[in-house]
Amino acid sequence: MPSSTPPKWQRLKTNIALAAAFAAATPLAALDLASRYQAEPHLSPLPRTDAERARIAAATSPATDFTAPEPFEDLPAGAATVRARTDDEAFSQHSATLSFAQELEFKLGNGLFKKIWVFSPASTKASDGLGPLYNARSCQRCHLKDGRGHVPEQPDYVSASMFLRVSVPGPVPPELQEISDYIGTAPDPVYGTQMQDFSAPGIAPEYRLQVAYEAFEIALNGGETATLRRPSYTAANLGYGPLAEGAMLSPRVAPPMIGLGLLEAIPAADILAHADEEDADGDGISGRANLVWSREFNRILLGRFGLKAGMATVHEQSASAFSGDIGISTPLFPAHAGECTAQQAACQTAQHGGGDSRETEIDQPNMDLVTFYSRNLGVPARRASGDPQVLRGKEVFYAAGCPACHVPKFVTHRLADRPEQSFQLIWPYSDLLLHDMGEGLADNRPEARATGREWRTAPLWGIGLTQQVSPRATFLHDGRARTLLEAVLWHGGEAEAAKSRVVALQPQDRAALIAFLESL
């Protein structure tokens, strides 16, 4: 197998340096639209010096030697890396960079993340306001042990960590019309933007999610085969009549929570330096930034979070989940009825936990604690990075072209107000950009700029501990892949060539690739 790296790597170091210099030197009014999306109102970064930019370019250069681990490779979150536990708490540790006072803040946020919300009225006023429609009673019940969710169990199909997004075609809002390829959508007029399968007493749930699988085999080089599962999804037992004509459904399994604050601290210019929308270098990879409306900052920002990069900040992602997943109002999403629509009268008039001294069911100080907790769940240290099989697997990973999307390294902003995430060399193995993953993984539901075939590159750090944390967890956006090899074999579209190289590997090299992924 050739050990050369993809062509895109040859210019990334230069692109990152030029983008950072351009953003620092050019007034905002003079920047074109693409450059204006580098704005980061959620951060207060200090400017990088020329010397720092040179250090960063050297530190984030792609690997060329696969005989030993790279410097600091065992610390995927830099100084924030936590020890790799061997139990189901591996994703539940706080970042190693927190001060003693911040550890208390983290623990308070953890309590709110695990809090079991109850229906109104309740004697426990601090915990009432659940629903009336919801998918889970706590954040922890979606993000199991701060890790991945799982698909529903048959025969009753109950799951608090998977649901269906829903939307219908709609107009592009005026504030987003400057983005020429923004795809207009609207909530389903009855079911909103998310299907909820649980409800308060006396109120009908919206549906019951049903999943069926069709198995098929793929032949692999060396006489091996793999069995994949092609899923189909049904929104059964609809509680409020049929979905609107043209309704688009997208299954979503809750992703892991680790390292989010570090992803938020990556300079937007460095992310955009990896974009190649027109595939100028001809390597078949054309990552695109999702550009979304931030309710938090009332402007267009670079999307980073969610399976299609539909949210710009950890705080907005968290507040949106409180509203959609649990039915809890927040200052950013103040509707007490959560996702209930005007067509769901009983839901709209149900008693809620707001009012009087509680304008929303969770207030901003408590939302700040949840956000701090979500930003500071630690990334575990690498395991066996120097093992010969793991090193061979890393070489295979590079030779197959995987780093063209799963970009190994970034350096975060230098942040005076967030020292816990400041100026860290991190290894998320994601470019946080959108890529066409082919018809096999398409959900055919757009989100902002993301088409129905595009997904944000999933970060790979910690992926080897996924099933240690939650034994029933599976992989990809809808959990169809039971193993990491199955997840790789579902790649298509821009990743078709890389997947084909994996299929063509000798069995021992395919096993080495999986060993490398399991070490992350």
Task: Concatenate the DSSP letters of all residues of 184-242 into one string.
Answer: -EE-BTTTBTB---EE-TTS--S-EEEEEEEEEEEEETTTEEEEEEEEEEEEES-BTBP
pLDDT of residue 393: 98
pLDDT of residue 153: 77
Q: What percentage of the chain carries pLDDT values higher than 90?
A: 86
pLDDT of residue 23: 39
pLDDT of residue 24: 39
pLDDT of residue 156: 67
Is 96 in contact with 80 (CB distance < 8 Å)? yes
> Does residue 371 have a pLDDT over 90?
yes
Tell me how far apart the alpha carbons of residues 406 and 433 are, in angstroms, rounded to a whole number. 10
Is 245 in contact with 189 (CB distance < 8 Å)? no
> Does residue 22 have a pLDDT over 90?
no
Model confidence at 306, pLDDT cuts 50, 70, 90, reads very high
Model confidence at 356, pLDDT cuts 50, 70, 90, reads low
Summarize pLDDT for 111-167 with one digit per residue, the tens.
999 999 999 988 777 888 999 999 999 999 999 999 999 998 776 666 668 999 999
pLDDT of residue 19: 40
pLDDT of residue 27: 35
Question: Rounded mean pLDDT of 477-498?
Answer: 98
Write the CA distances from 177 to 151, 268, 453, 455, integer angstroms.
Answer: 37, 21, 22, 22
Summarize pLDDT for 46-104 with one digit per residue, the tens.
999 999 999 999 999 999 999 999 999 999 999 999 999 999 999 999 999 999 999 99
pLDDT of residue 159: 63
> Does residue 515 have a pLDDT over 80?
yes
DSSP 377: B
pLDDT of residue 32: 54
> Does residue 21 have a pLDDT over 60?
no
| Pairing outcome for strands 248-253 and 291-294 | unpaired
> Does residue 498 have a pLDDT over 60?
yes
> Does residue 492 have a pLDDT over 80?
yes
Residue with tokens 């899923």: 231
Tell me how far apart the alpha carbons of residues 112 and 142 are, in angstroms, rounded to a whole number. 14
DSSP 43: -
Summarize pLDDT for 426-439 with one digit per residue, the tens.
999 999 999 999 99
Summarize pLDDT for 249-274 with one digit per residue, the tens.
999 999 999 999 999 999 999 999 99
pLDDT of residue 124: 79
pLDDT of residue 354: 80
Lowest mean pLDDT among 277-281, 290-294, 310-314, 462-466: 277-281
Is 66 in contact with 122 (CB distance < 8 Å)? no
